[in-house]
Structure 1
Amino acid sequence: MEENWKKNLATDSYGNPARSISNLRLIFTLDENLSQIRYDTFCQDDVCFCPLFRNVNGNKIDEESAGKIQDYLERTYRIRLTQNKVFEILKTTSSERSFNPVQEFISQETWDGQPRIATTIIDYLGAEDNPLVREQTKLWFVAAVARVFNPGCKFDNVLTLPGPQGIGKSTFFKAISGRWFNDSFSFASGDKEKVETITNGWIIEISELNGLKRANDAEAAKAFLSRCSDYMRPAYGHKVVEFMRHNVFAATTNETNFLQGDNGNRRWWIIPVKGNGHVSDWLDDLQRSVPQFWAEAYTYYKQGMKLYLAPDMEVEANEIQMQHSNIIVDPIMEDIEMYLEREVPMQYASWMIPTRLAYQKGAYSEPNSTMTSLNMVCARQIIEELPNDLVRRNPSKYTSQYINRLMSMFPNWKRSEQEKVKGLHPAYCDKTGRTKYPWVRVDAPSEESCATLPSELELPF
């Protein structure tokens, strides 16, 4: 068989195999060693199952591997290739032998019909046994399967386990992940590092909620978790390509109040755990059960299970999130809410700040005016216009940053998606007349309101 395909190689004037595309395709496809290089569609890398071309970092093809392939071609076929040419040929030939090791890992066994995944965190980590815990756990397992078989599918929830140190939280996630576990992810890393981490992993643990300590971190995390794909340039590639996400996130922490504010916290599916004896007592049983966990989850995935909680369970999950947030209890919260909900005259946009403050305190009014809502505000505006003088008497506490944290707790308000927006009083704008990331009402009407300065009004500033 070997001699048959080699006879099909075109030769040069010296009788050696010619360095033609057709020859190279035959060699890379049928050579007993080169044909063991396959394309891993999960990690999107060429991997080698022949020891001849492995490198110090394992079986992923890199420059060292390419050098060994060059040497092999010259010794075996008297063909000299550049490394770039080696990678170019591999792009087509290895992809014809593509495989997805995580799909194979998930589907290695047929489910025996015994439900297990809903109670895994209850059984091994001592979580409370209730319907919400069971449903969140089951959906997370199924989502992990869905992300592998349908990369980029919508799922941005993080299975989050707060509990004492040493009870096996990270061990649990590592044990169920096969070879595709990564616990080095941090929101504090640059975007490139974060993308590289999740591209090569399946179960990504955010250990101790790394890089998630401030309100700004929480905003960035919300945006990152919401994405279904990422863009990066693959190794030895020349163009930036889109990578559909094939991972799910888990988080572990020893803290109790770890969520920042209230904005975006719905993504954190929190299951408090207290442990269930020594890790060594249950680890062997867990590892034996892993194939059946994924077989069960794969069955649910093929049945079309939805990857979100029912509305009543969503409400219950939100209540648990509130219990684990470091939300500030501040007496001016009520004042801010009243300020945000109070209707104001259309002329309000053109008033000077002292007039606005007088109106908010009830010392000034505009009878028979058309009323409207404040649909866009900023922290500086709240500090200057809130009727409660406490915010102005205590500037060291009531900074713009602090007010922004308080604003993040109002579910009907969100930061503008635009970095700089026109429309607020000049005192709250930069030199270009814009405000950086103001707060906008979620259900604001599209028509002109006090979110913008009415053009027909004569402004005194």
Structure 2
Amino acid sequence: MKYDPQALGNIPAELVNLPRWVVWKLLPNNEPGKPPKKMPFDPKNGRPAKPDQPGTWGTFAQALEALQAGNYTGLGFELTGSGITGIDLDHVIDPSTGQMGEEARQIVDRLDSYTEISPSGTGVHILVKGHIPKDGKRNIPKGFEVYQGKRYLTVTGKPWGPLRPLQARQEALNWFYSAYFPDSGKAPETKPTAPTRAPTLDYLSVGLERDPAFSALWNGQRPTGDESSDDLALMNKLAYWCNRDEAAMVSAFLSSPYAAQKGRQHTKKMGRKDYLPRTARKAAQGCTETAADHDREFQERRLPAPASGGKAAVSPAPDDKPAKRPISLEVVKEALDAFGITVRHNQITNEMEITGLPPSYSQENAAAVLPVFLMDRLRAAHVTGCTIPVLEGYLFLVADEHRYNPVRELLENQDWDGVDRFPILYEILGVTDPAYHTFIRKWFIQCAAMACNSEKQPFGADGVLVLQGPQGIGKTRFFQVVAMRPDWFVDGATIDMDNKDSLIKSVSRWICELGELDNTVKKEQAALKAHITSPVDIIRAPYARAAAKRIRRTSYCGTVNPKDYLRDETGSRRFWTVPVERIDLDRLHSLSEAWLRQLWAQAHRCFAEAPNSFRLTGEERRWLEGNNQQFARPLPGEQEIRDLLDPGLSPSLWGWFKPSHIAQRVQGYKPTANQVGVIIRKLADELPGIEVRNTKTGRLYRLPIHKYYDE
């Protein structure tokens, strides 16, 4: 049977996720009259694969790539240490009719786990979670075989009948083994009787079903990262479930996926004669109770009914009902640990990050998929109260308990080497004015400060670094590069104070580029200024029950093409405008991640040594206000009033004028008295001698207009 690429999608994700895959092809048998051998090969290099050498296996993706190259016949899965038993039923499908024999069909229904058609097309392979007393048993007259190690099983992905999930079926597996592979010559009973005390392997399977922490360790989780400590952690669990039987503990350890996934160095350590026995002895000595102490509880188990909905293979006793457990935070945590799923809250992106879901689910839909995934599994485990809203609430709690700030971690874990890197940025931007250097430097310090914002005493930003220059020179690209990560930067954000989606987008990144600053109307620009310096954001996210207060960790930047983009006459000190004519993109793109890390480490050092060092001084602010006039859009009537002024006039000749007098004398546009006042206040930043005086008859302005102008 040639492999079917579409059928491979039926393979259970639990198998796909394990690095236990090989490829195989038919080779001539050296023994005369024997059929060709299905020889397994390492998909990484084409060398022979060995059942006891995990280094000769590969991932599913590696095996699939090797298979698609055309040099092999099919895929194979190595059973050794997987906790999975493989059953091979040969010649049970009539090739002429495609029908399965009654005996084989009953076996398939009773085991009720993943079943697929073998490469021959006349047999089936059944994969079951569970263990058998002795490996590699054959029933030659029946053509049945059962294995749990020291060999691989071919995998086609072509299901027999309805697609069944990979299931833990220890009781059914016990029945199959005793029925078709008896160790004595006596005829086996088809209905096993419950022993007064379960054998060690039975306890082990119960533990893997009921103890999520044990299951997680067994399947390869390494909670500490220290190999010896994690070895002892698994052995401690085995001491309980193997009833302090040190030989059984060592045997189980060696057959576990945990052991199979060890690297070369640790495999060598595990192979020392004294290492595992010594570890088992230490665990057994520290074990105060065993599974046998709770024997009655573990005997009260029920064999699940077949997926087809038929009668259970073994009818449970009236009091043999599965124990129910109410949903709780602890249950959700145990389930996440058992499935190897992590949930945490990213304080920069304000998103829940989920990893560890089976690859059949997309990462982009993980937040929606996980509650449904857990609900299905927990209900099957007889956990009550599992609903989507309840699970979403618990997942929110778990994520919040595991909140983290990736930018802050980067800044605080990176030591600055003492080299000033800002001059290189000035050169890349082509900026030579020291005042503009100040804006650039302080903005970077502000970014570091905002990323480390305090939850107890939050503070706001001081300004927006705005690069003004021709279109297409790379202004946005500059900010993208220095932000380092795509998910730490958002470009072209348009903030609408009445649109919560735009607000959420703008504060869900470390660095946010404001879009269309030159098209922002006066009213919006005034509201924008207040938003920029806010220390917190109070936003009700979509579907949230209430608004939430978030600490501001975002720093804003901007890019504009036209020079006259400012239009708020009340002041523009929050916009730190730096004109650029050309950006050295080649040099910008040559900046390595290590260099950028050092740049941010320098900015963080400046903030740590002087927390307010990102704020402009009074002198710098006054210079900014004056300099920003060149970027301000003229007010209606402003140019006409400017034409009246004579900045070179001797101060002794300056006169006092009412707004109405000024409006009468301008040519062209006639501003109102209120507009005249606004324009004069703006011009006062350029001409320090301008004064205002309030009188009983109205406001007077001292201007560089000859005091005898009225005459």
TM over 0.5: same fold? yes
1:126 to 420, 430, 448: 430
1:146 aligns with 2:434: no
Q: Counterpart of 2:344 in structure 1: which amino acid?
A: R
SS in 1 for 2:472: coil
SS in 2 for 1:109: coil
- The answer to whether the Cα contact below 8 Å between 2:492 and 2:515 also exists between their aligned partners in 1 is yes
Q: Distance in 2 between matches of 1:172 and 1:299?
A: 22
2:564 to 223, 234, 257: 257
Q: Distance in 2 between matches of 1:407 and 1:28?
A: 69
2:526 to 216, 219, 224: 219
| TM-score computed with the length of structure 2 as normaliser | 0.45
Give the match for residue 50 of structure 1.
Answer: 356
Show structure 1 runs of 5+ residues with no match. 337-359, 362-381, 413-440, 452-461
* Count, aligned residues: 368
Change beyond 3 A, Cα 1:133–1:387: closer
How far residue 55 of structure 1 moved from its aligned partner, in angstroms, is 6.1
1:406 aligns with 2:689: no
- The answer to whether the Cα contact below 8 Å between 2:517 and 2:560 also exists between their aligned partners in 1 is yes
- The answer to whether the Cα contact below 8 Å between 1:209 and 1:251 also exists between their aligned partners in 2 is yes
Q: Distance in 2 between matches of 1:443 and 1:240?
A: 47
**Residue-by-residue CA offset, 1:67-122 (whole Å, 9 max, x unaligned):** 23323434566666111111121232232222112222334532111111x33541
Identity among equivalent pairs (%): 20
Change beyond 3 A, Cα 1:398–1:57: farther
How far residue 244 of structure 1 moved from its aligned partner, in angstroms, is 2.1
How far residue 334 of structure 1 moved from its aligned partner, in angstroms, is 10
1:182 aligns with 2:490: yes
Q: Distance in 2 between matches of 1:220 and 1:69?
A: 44
SS in 1 for 2:582: coil
Q: Counterpart of 1:233 in structure 2: which amino acid?
A: R
How far residue 170 of structure 1 moved from its aligned partner, in angstroms, is 0.6
Give the match for residue 89 of structure 1.
Answer: 394
Q: Distance in 2 between matches of 1:404 and 1:59?
A: 56
**Residue-by-residue CA offset, 1:334-357 (whole Å, 9 max, x unaligned):** 999xxxxxxxxxxxxxxxxxxxxx
**Residue-by-residue CA offset, 1:270-326 (whole Å, 9 max, x unaligned):** 11112244x244313265521111111111121124222233322322222112112
More relative contact order, 1 or 2 (CA 8 Å, 6+ apart): 1
- The answer to whether the Cα contact below 8 Å between 1:203 and 1:247 also exists between their aligned partners in 2 is yes
How far residue 252 of structure 1 moved from its aligned partner, in angstroms, is 0.6
Q: Distance in 2 between matches of 1:19 and 1:410?
A: 72
Give the alignment's Cα RMSD to 1 decimal.
4.1
Change beyond 3 A, Cα 1:28–1:307: farther
How far residue 51 of structure 1 moved from its aligned partner, in angstroms, is 3.1
Give the match for residue 86 of structure 2.
Answer: none
Give the match for residue 58 of structure 2.
Answer: none
How far residue 143 of structure 1 moved from its aligned partner, in angstroms, is 1.0
Show structure 2 runs of 5+ residues with no match. 1-206, 215-290, 301-318, 646-656, 686-690, 700-711
Q: Distance in 2 between matches of 1:60 and 1:404?
A: 58
Give the match for residue 192 of structure 1.
Answer: 500
How far residue 268 of structure 1 moved from its aligned partner, in angstroms, is 0.9
Q: Counterpart of 2:400 in structure 1: which amino acid?
A: S
Q: Distance in 2 between matches of 1:443 and 1:401?
A: 15
- The answer to whether the Cα contact below 8 Å between 2:339 and 2:356 also exists between their aligned partners in 1 is no
1:156 aligns with 2:462: yes
How far residue 450 of structure 1 moved from its aligned partner, in angstroms, is 8.6
SS in 2 for 1:184: strand
Give the match for residue 136 of structure 1.
Answer: 439
2:535 to 228, 249, 253: 228
Change beyond 3 A, Cα 1:78–1:19: closer
Q: Distance in 2 between matches of 1:66 and 1:27?
A: 14
Q: Distance in 2 between matches of 1:408 and 1:14?
A: 84
Bigger mean CA offset, 107-116 vs 171-180: 107-116
Q: Distance in 2 between matches of 1:410 and 1:443?
A: 16
- Structure having the higher Rg: 2
1:18 aligns with 2:322: no
Q: Counterpart of 1:133 in structure 2: which amino acid?
A: Y
2:604 to 293, 298, 302: 298
Give the match for residue 456 of structure 1.
Answer: none
1:238 aligns with 2:511: no
Change beyond 3 A, Cα 1:387–1:316: closer
Q: Distance in 2 between matches of 1:182 and 1:221?
A: 17
Q: Counterpart of 1:398 in structure 2: which amino acid?
A: P
Change beyond 3 A, Cα 1:99–1:221: closer
Change beyond 3 A, Cα 1:406–1:57: farther
Large movers: runs of 4+ above 6 Å:
6-13, 333-336, 391-394, 441-444, 448-451
